[in-house]
Amino acid sequence: MSSARVTRSGRKILQGGRKRSGSGTEQHGGETNTLPPRGRKEVKKRVQVRYDCMEDVEKKLKWEPENWQRQLENIREMRSRRDAPVMRYQVLLSLMLSSQTKDQVTSAAMTKLREHGLTVQRILETDEETLGKIIYPVGFWKPRDIPDNVSDLVKLPGVGPKMAHLVMDIAWNKVSGIGVDTHVHRISNRLKWVKKETKSPEDTRVALEDWMPRDLWSEINWLLVGFGQQMCLPVAPRCSECLNKDICPGAKKK
């Protein structure tokens, strides 16, 4: 019989000897010792099975979606062909403006900003006073006014958890959570990146944060927002063109 013991580092050691009759095997109080026969060299077979370290074992036990790494790589590949950075910047500005005012006012301000030139470089070259006039009547949100924690951010009018996590990431360079909007929510459910179907973006955020490595939390919002606007559309997703069509549980077959 073989016996096994697991060391603190997570290694499992199986020890076993060929069981011999006669003097080769002795029993003491329930323990079996294998002794070498006289005149022969000890033959001891030791099988060592290396298990992963405990951290890896825990990760394996934890649920994670099937194929998520391939799906993510495919989305990165699809997004890399698009004009993501400019769009990301515009989405961010639009979000920040919308937290200050109504949709119509945000829309008018965004139109004037586009006419002015809505790239990072162009905005950086524009002084605060000019920018203030362009986006008027939207109030200016100066950096010193931005709280540096989620609980204070969500107290601001129009700022929910999604916006708060995005602002923490962009303004303070701190990843406090995944910014889940309607695109991230929809795509996560289509790809089955949530263990059970979720009903709200906030539930999706909690479900994603449960398994997704933290170093992806910042990227995932930008990636899925752009992907949701151009490929995985709300009503008629373009599944036939999507690199994930064969590994996506929510793919439309037609």
Residue nearer to ligand SF4 on the CB measure, 38 or 81:
81
- What tokens were used for 200? 């709200």
Is residue 96 a contact point for ligand SF4 (CB under 6 A)? Answer: no
Rounded Cα distance between 123 and 107, Å, is: 17
**Residue 250 touching ligand SF4 (CB under 6 A):** yes
Active site residue 59: no
Shortest distance, CB of residue 226 to ligand SF4, whole angstroms?
Answer: 13
Q: Which residues between 51 and 70 bind ligand SF4 (CB under 6 A)?
A: none
User: Can you point out the beta strands (E) in 87-183?
Assistant: none
Q: Which among 166, 182, 191, 162 has a CA at the least distance from the CA of 225?
A: 182
Q: How far is the CB of 79 from ligand SF4 (least distance, A)?
A: 12
CA angle 45, 49, 54 (to 5 degrees): 150
Residue of 59, 112, 162, 245 marked active site: 162
- 206-235 mask for ligand SF4 (x: CB under 6 A)? -------------------------xx---
User: Of 106, 251, 253, 254, which one interacts with ligand SF4 (CB under 6 A)?
Assistant: 251
Verify cis geometry, omega within 30 degrees of 0, for the bond prior to 137.
yes
Nearer to ligand SF4, 163 or 231 (CB): 231
239 forms part of the interface with ligand SF4 (CB under 6 A): yes
Polymer length in residues for the chain: 254
Contacts for 49 with CB less than 8 Å, ≥ 6 apart: 11, 12, 13, 14
245 contributes a contact to ligand SF4 by CB under 6 A = yes
Q: For ligand SF4, which stretch binds (CB under 6 A), given 13-21, 23-31, 53-61, 236-244?
A: 236-244
In the list 28, 248, 253, 254, the residue contacting ligand SF4 (rule: CB under 6 A) is 248
* CA distances for 124 relative to 8, 41, 77, 80, 117, angstroms: 55, 81, 29, 25, 11
Pick out residues in 175-194 that bind ligand SF4 (CB under 6 A): 190-191
CB neighbourhood size of 230 (10 A): 16
Q: Which long-range contacts (CB under 8 A, 24 or more apart) does 214-218 make?
A: 214/175, 216/72, 217/175, 217/177, 217/178, 218/169, 218/175
**Please, which residue, 113 or 191, has the CB nearer to ligand SF4?**
191
Q: How far is the CB of 190 from ligand SF4 (least distance, A)?
A: 4
Nearest CA to 76 among 190, 205, 216, 204? 216
- Judged by CB under 6 A, the stretch of 56-64, 82-90, 134-142, 241-249 that binds ligand SF4 is 241-249
In the complex, the smallest distance separating the C-beta of residue 236 from ligand SF4, rounded to whole angstroms, is 10
Residue numbers at the binding site for ligand SF4 (CB under 6 A): 190-191, 231-232, 237-239, 242, 244-245, 248, 250-251
The catalytic residues are: 162
